[in-house]
Amino acid sequence: MKKTSTRLADGRELIYYDLRDDAVRDAVDHRPLERTVTTSEIRRDELVGDSVAIASHRQGRTYHPPADQCPLCPSQGERLSEIPDSSYDVVVFENRFPSLAGDSGRCEVVCFTSDHTASFADLSEEQARLVLDAWTDRTSELSHLPSVEQVFCFENRGAEIGVTLGHPHGQVYAYPFTTPRTALMLRSVAAHKEATDGENLFDAVVEGELAGERVVLAGEHWVAFVPYAAHWPYEVHLYPRRRVPDLLALDEAARSEFAQVYLELLRRFDRIFGEGEPPTPYIAAWHQAPFGRLAEFEGVSRDDFALHLELFTIRRTSGKLKFLAGSESGMSVFINDVPPERAAERLREVAST
C-alpha cells in the first residue's frame, strides 16, 4: 500500500491509498472553494447520559446529485469533484459537511472505488484488503488527535438507509467521547468479569455461538453469526477468532482472510430476498475499543474489548422495511419479526457460487 496525503482547495486533507507503489498523486484541486465553516457542538443529555451532535450547517450538504455530477467520482476534464485525480484505488478525505469537527472530533469520507456503479461486494479481495488497510490507518491517525476518544468506521448503503450519494463509500467518525453503545458493552463486560472471576464476556458469547445453530460463516481466523438477541431482521456479527481491541491489533493472518470472508457475507446479503430484488440496504459498523481512559468501567481495560463488525439490514422481507416506531424509538426496545435462527438458516442457504 502506498499512502499519499494532499490538500483540497479549501484546506481539507485528502489521502490516496494505492495498490501500486509507483502511483503518482500530484493532481491539484482547482475548484474555487472557500474555507469550510462548521457549527458542530456536542450537547449532553443529562437525563439519559448520552451526547448529541448539533450540526446545523449540514442542511446544505449535497443531496442525491445526478450520476454525472457525483462529487465522489474522479475529476474528468471540466468536471471537478472532491477527488482531483482522474482515477483512484481508495481515497479518504475530510467531510465537507461534518457532524463532528475541531474540538468536537472529526468526520471523514472513505471512497472504496472510483467505479460509481459498483458496491463493496463487487470489489476484488485485493481491493477489499486495501480498504481494510485504509480503515486501520485512519484509526491509528485519528486516535492520536487530542480531541478523539473513539474511532468508528462504517458504511451506510442504500437510499432506504438515508444515503444521499450513490457512489460506493463509507465514513469514519472520530468521537470526543465513548459512544453510548460501547459504554453499554463495557459495563456488561465489567459486570460479567466480576461475576465469573475474570471470564471475558465477548469470548463467552463467541464460544456459545460457535456451538450453536446461528453460525453463518466460519473461517480459520473469522467467524460470522446471527446473534441470539438480534435487533434487526437480518443481522450478522463478524468477529476475529483471536480477541483484539481494534483494527490495529489484527495480525497478518486475520487481515489476509478478512476480504474473502467479508465479501462472501456481503454477497449473501444481496441474495437474501431473491433474484430481481433491489440491492439489500445495510449498515456495516466496526466496533473498536475507545482510546480514552476507561476509569468509569471498573476492572476493565482496552484489551477486554473485542473488535467486531455488525452488519444489518432494515429490510424485513421482500418490499417491506423494518421501521423504528414507538417501542424502538420511544423506549429502545426492539421487536424483531424474523427469528435469528431462521435468519442464519437463510444466510447459509444463499451461499454465493
Q: Indicate which residues carry an active-site annotation.
A: 169
Angle at which helix 180-195 crosses helix 201-210, to 10 degrees, equals 90
**DSSP-derived 3-state class of residue 201:** helix
User: What is the C-alpha to C-alpha distance for residues 220 and 223, in angstroms, rounded to an integer?
Assistant: 8
**DSSP code for 280:** P
C-alpha torsion sign, points 261, 262, 266, 272:
positive
Q: What is the DSSP string of 286-342?
A: EE---SS--TTSTT--GGGS--EEEEEESEEETTEE----IIIIIH-----SS-HHH
> Measuring CA to CA, which residue among 277, 281, 305 is closest to residue 292?
305
CB 316 within 8 A of CB 160: no
**DSSP-derived 3-state class of residue 79:** strand
Torsion of CA 259, 260, 264, 266, to 10 degrees: 0
228 Cβ neighbours under 8 A, 6+ residues apart: 208, 209, 212, 214, 340
- 85 — phi, psi (to 5°)? -75, 165
User: What is the C-alpha to C-alpha distance for residues 215 and 337, in angstroms, rounded to an integer?
Assistant: 19
